[in-house]
Structure 1
Amino acid sequence: MLSRLLRQFLFTLTHLVVNVLVAVQNVYSRFWAKEDDFPCNQGTENDIKVILKHLPNMKKKPKHLVVLADTSEHSLHSLALVVIWSLVAGVPYVSFHDITGELKENEEKLFLEVEKCKKGIPGCIKWSKMPNLNGYTNGTQAHTVTVNIFTSHDGRPKIAQCIRDIANNKVSCKREADEFTAQELGDALALFYPSIPDPDVILYTGSLCSAHGFLPWQLRLTEFVQLSTDHCINVNSYVGALYKYNKCDQRFGK
C-alpha cells in the first residue's frame, strides 16, 4: 500500500515538474522571438539565416509537411511564415488542415500575406486554387513549394464517397481479387486528392495531440511533432521540429 502511494506521488511530482519546465520554455521562447521586435522583412531575413544555418545538419527533409491550423490561435502571418520557411528549407509540399473552417474562406488573405513575406526570396509558391508563379529566378530553377488547404470534408466524407463510387463501378482502378488490398485502395483514393505525397510530418500546437479528422488514410505513417503548448509558432520551434523529424526512424511496419 505504501509503495503504491509512493509511486503515485512520484508520478504526479514528475508530471508537475515537466509541465512547469515546458511552460517556462514556452514563455522564454515567446519573449525571445517576438514578432514585433523586427519589421516584417527584417524578421523574415533573420528567420532565413536561422534555417540556412541549421539546414546542412539535416540528413533528410520532409516531402510533405502539414500544419494543423487553428485560426482562433494562429495568425495568418505565422502561417504564411511556415510557407516561407518551407520554401527556404526545400520542402516541396505544405498543407494546412483548417480546424475551424475559417482558413479556407480566407485563402486569398493567406495568399497575400505569403506574397508580402516572400518579397526578395527566390523560389516558386504554387497554390491549388491560385495562379501559379513560373518557378524561375534569374533564369535558374528555384525551390518550389505547393500549398494546399484541407478541411474535415476532405477526410472521412471523401473516403466514403470513394468507396461508394467503387461499389457503383464509377472508379477505374485495378483489382486482382474481390477484396481490395491496401495498395489498391490507396491508388483509388489518390484519384480524389491533388497529386501530393502522403504527409511525412504534422506540426501542431497546444497540449492536445489530435488529427482533427485530417485525411485519416494518408497519415497512417505520419510523425506528429509539437511546436509549442501555447500555440506559438516561431522559426526556432520550426527548426526544432525538422530536427525531431530527422531523428525519427520510420520503420513502415517492419
Structure 2
Amino acid sequence: MLSRLFRQFLFALIHWAVNLLVAVQNVYQQIWCSSSSESEVNQSDIKIILENMPKITKKLKHLVVQADTDHHSLADLARVVIWSLVAGIPYVSFYDITGELKKNEEKLFHEVERYKKGIPGFIKWTRMPDLNGYTNGQQAHTVTVNIFTQDDGRPVVAQCIQNIAEEKISCPQNTRELTAQEFGGVLSSFYPSIPDPELLLYTGSFLCTYGALPWQIRLTEFVQLSIDHKVSVDSYVGALYKYNKCDQRFGK
C-alpha cells in the first residue's frame, strides 16, 4: 500500500516538475522573442552575407521557410526576406503552419519595408501587388515573396486531378497514362509562376512537412535553422552552406 502511494506521489512530482520546466521555457521564449523583435538588420548582418555568398557555389532560386507564428515574430521573418534579398535569392516563400501569417501579410510587408530602408533591391508580393516595394534607384536584386498554407497543398492537387478527370482543363498527353511531367505542367497553372523550392528551413527539434506543397517539395532539402526556434543570420548562412554541400542524385 505504501509502495503504491509512493509511486503515485513520485509520478505527481515528476509531472509537476515537467510542467514547471515547460512553463519556464515558454516564458523564456516570450522574453527572447520580444527582445529579438527589436533587433534590426544591421550592417554586420549584411557584411556576413556578402562575405559568405561568393563561397556558396550552388545558387539558390527558391527558399521556403516554415513560419510558426507561435515562435517566430514578424521581425524574424522580415529579416529572412532582407537577408535573401542581399544574398540574391529570387524567390522566398513562407509556409504558414498556423494560418496566422497569411492573415497578417500586410503587417509583414510593413515590417519588411521598415528593415529594408537603405538596402537596395526590389521586393514583390505575389498576392498583394499593390504593396510591391522599390529599388532605391539602384540596380539590385529582386525577391518575390509568397505565403502558402495547408490549403495550398493537397487540396489544390486534388482539385487539379478532379479538373483533369472532368476535362475542365486541357491536359496534353502523349499516352493514356499521365506522366509526372505532364501533371506537373498542369498543376503549375494553379500556383504563381515560381520554381520548385530547393531548400526548406525549419526550426525546432521536430521535422514535419505539415503538408507543405507536397508535389513541389519532392526534391527539396530540409535544413534545421535552430532547435530553440531562434532565427539568426549565422544560422541562416550556415543553412546555405549545408545546402551547398548537398549532392542530389535524383534516385540514381
Q: TM (normalized to structure 2)?
A: 0.83
Distance 2:171 2:144 in 1: 27
**Conservation of the 8 A alpha-carbon contact between 2:150 and 2:210:** yes
The residue that corresponds to 2:4 in the other structure is: none
Q: Displacement of 1:253 after TM fit?
A: 2.2
1:169 and 2:167 correspond: yes
The counterpart of 2:96, out of the listed 90, 95, 98, is 98
**Conservation of the 8 A alpha-carbon contact between 1:40 and 1:117:** no
Whichever residue aligns with residue 154 of structure 1, its letter is: D
How many aligned residue pairs are there? 221
Q: State the Cα deviation string for residues 119-172 of structure 1 (Å, max 9, x = none).
A: 00000000012226476443x532000000000000000000000000111112
The residue that corresponds to 2:199 in the other structure is: 201
Gapped regions of structure 2 (runs ≥ 5): 1-28
- Other structure's SS at 2:102 match: coil
The counterpart of 2:74, out of the listed 73, 76, 79, is 76
Whichever residue aligns with residue 106 of structure 1, its letter is: N
Q: What is the percent sequence identity of the aligned residues?
A: 63
Distance 2:33 2:160 in 1: 45
The residue that corresponds to 2:209 in the other structure is: 211
Q: Which has the higher contact order (CA 8 A, sep 6+)?
A: 1
Compare CA radii of gyration and give the structure with the larger one.
2
Q: 1:110 and 1:37, CA in 2 relative to 1: closer, same or farther beyond 3 A? A: closer
Q: Mapping of 1:1-254 within 5 angstroms? A: 36=35, 40-41=39-40, 43-130=41-128, 131=130, 133=132, 136-138=135-137, 140-254=138-252
Gapped regions of structure 1 (runs ≥ 5): 1-29
Distance 1:51 1:36 in 2: 23
Whichever residue aligns with residue 182 of structure 1, its letter is: A
Distance 2:113 2:133 in 1: 14
Distance 2:36 2:173 in 1: 58
